[in-house]
Amino acid sequence: MLEAIQSGMRRLKESRKTERFRAALNGGVFVLSGGAGLAPPFALLTAFAAALILIPGAACAQSDQPPEQPAQVQPLLNDGKPMVVEYHCTADDIHSAGLSCTLDDPCPLFLELAAVESVGNRIFVAGNIHSPTTTLSSVLLTSDDDGKTWREPYERLRLAGFDSIQFIDFENGWVSGEVQHPLPRDPFLLVTADGGKTWRQRLIFGDPQFGAIQQFWFSSRTGGGLIVDRGRAGELGHYELYETPNGGETWMLRQTSEKPLQLKRAPATANADWRLRADAAIKAYRVEHRAEDRWRSIAAFSVSIGFCRPPRETPPQSSAPVPDAAKMSQNPR
């Protein structure tokens, strides 16, 4: 049973990344319009990186040691060059993701941005940080000064990624995501009621389950729907349609199908005035805003963000030998 689920979810991951990966290889550019609530292909490794590899049979390892505290993430300053999102690997990160990074052979790290949206004077971009084989962490960035500085309004979630963003008004918004390692599972929404200043995580299912949010859309601050792609893990069907009457606090199953489902009222693009563009020339994602008949670059984020190395072990400090008190008493000066 587990092998069948893993096989189905592997195909899900492959199908969700194929379109964007091929576009990047063919032209070096792939464009995502802002916040349609439609999840992009999984774990883009553009022309700048290797294709995603899923480790068969991998599992989220549990550590008996207390979790390490993540390093404080500093705001990013846009000086016109591609900004580099910081990521500091911990021993827990390497252990949980099943990585084999060493000091002599570190694992390269990449940023994938999957969605962009704007509300009021705030811009949001969302995605994940990953190695060539594994998603390591989600990342949500926001700017309220036209892209000059960027900060993270919500903590990073280990082994997870964010896919889509939607705001229904100036206050109420949602970001979709799921745990992405070793298989897509435990889909969730981040929910805000104050324009993105603060966010709360709301799980779609009450218990751990395989699946990823393929599409979501809210027609009001309380009413919305979403489609979960369960792969072969779905007992009733490959795809499941859910609806919420309370802004994403709880969800009710409405339909199952072996064929792909679509949310009837969801537009193809929620905000056609914003887009992400993978720019091969500078090896970065550009955040762009439409100004009449042309696109203006607001910011750029580097795809390559460094390397993951295990922390150096601090050698034990040697202490001077303690004199033997008995011998000292036998040999007085």
35-57 pLDDT, tens per residue? 545 554 433 333 333 333 333 33
- The predicted pLDDT at position 231 comes to 81
3-state SS, residue 253: strand
Total domain count for the chain?
1
Given this model, what pLDDT does residue 24 score? 40
Tell me, yes or no, whether 318 lies in a domain.
no
Residue 159 inside a domain? The answer is yes
pLDDT for position 73:
73
CB 54 within 8 A of CB 10: yes
Instruction: List the one residue out of 185, 221, 226, 203 whose CA is nearest residue 8.
Output: 185
Q: What is the mean pLDDT of residues 229-236?
A: 70
| pTM of the predicted model over 0.85 | no
Q: Is the pLDDT of residue 14 over 50?
A: no
Residue 184 lies in a domain: yes
Q: Considering the domain boundaries, does residue 62 fall inside one?
A: no
Question: In the prediction, which pLDDT does 292 show?
Answer: 87
In a domain, 317, yes or no: no
Provide the b/e sequence for 85-122 (b: ≥16 CB within 10 Å).
bebebbebbbebbbbebeeeebbebbbbbbbbbbbeeb
DSSP H or E run through 167: strand 160-167
Is pLDDT above 70 for 100? yes
Q: How far apart are CA 261 and CA 240, in angstroms?
A: 8
State the pLDDT at residue 204: 97
Q: Is residue 331 part of a domain?
A: no
Instruction: Tell me: pLDDT of 235 over 70.
Output: no
Who contacts 112 (Cβ-Cβ below 8 Å, separation ≥6)? 43, 44, 45, 127, 128, 129, 130, 161, 303
Domain interval for residue 79 = 2-55+70-312
Query: What is the mean pLDDT of the segment spanning 161-175?
Result: 97
Higher pLDDT, 42 or 310: 310
The answer to whether position 46 is within a domain reads yes
Rounded Cα distance, 111 and 74, in Å: 16
> What radius of gyration do the chain's Cα atoms show?
23
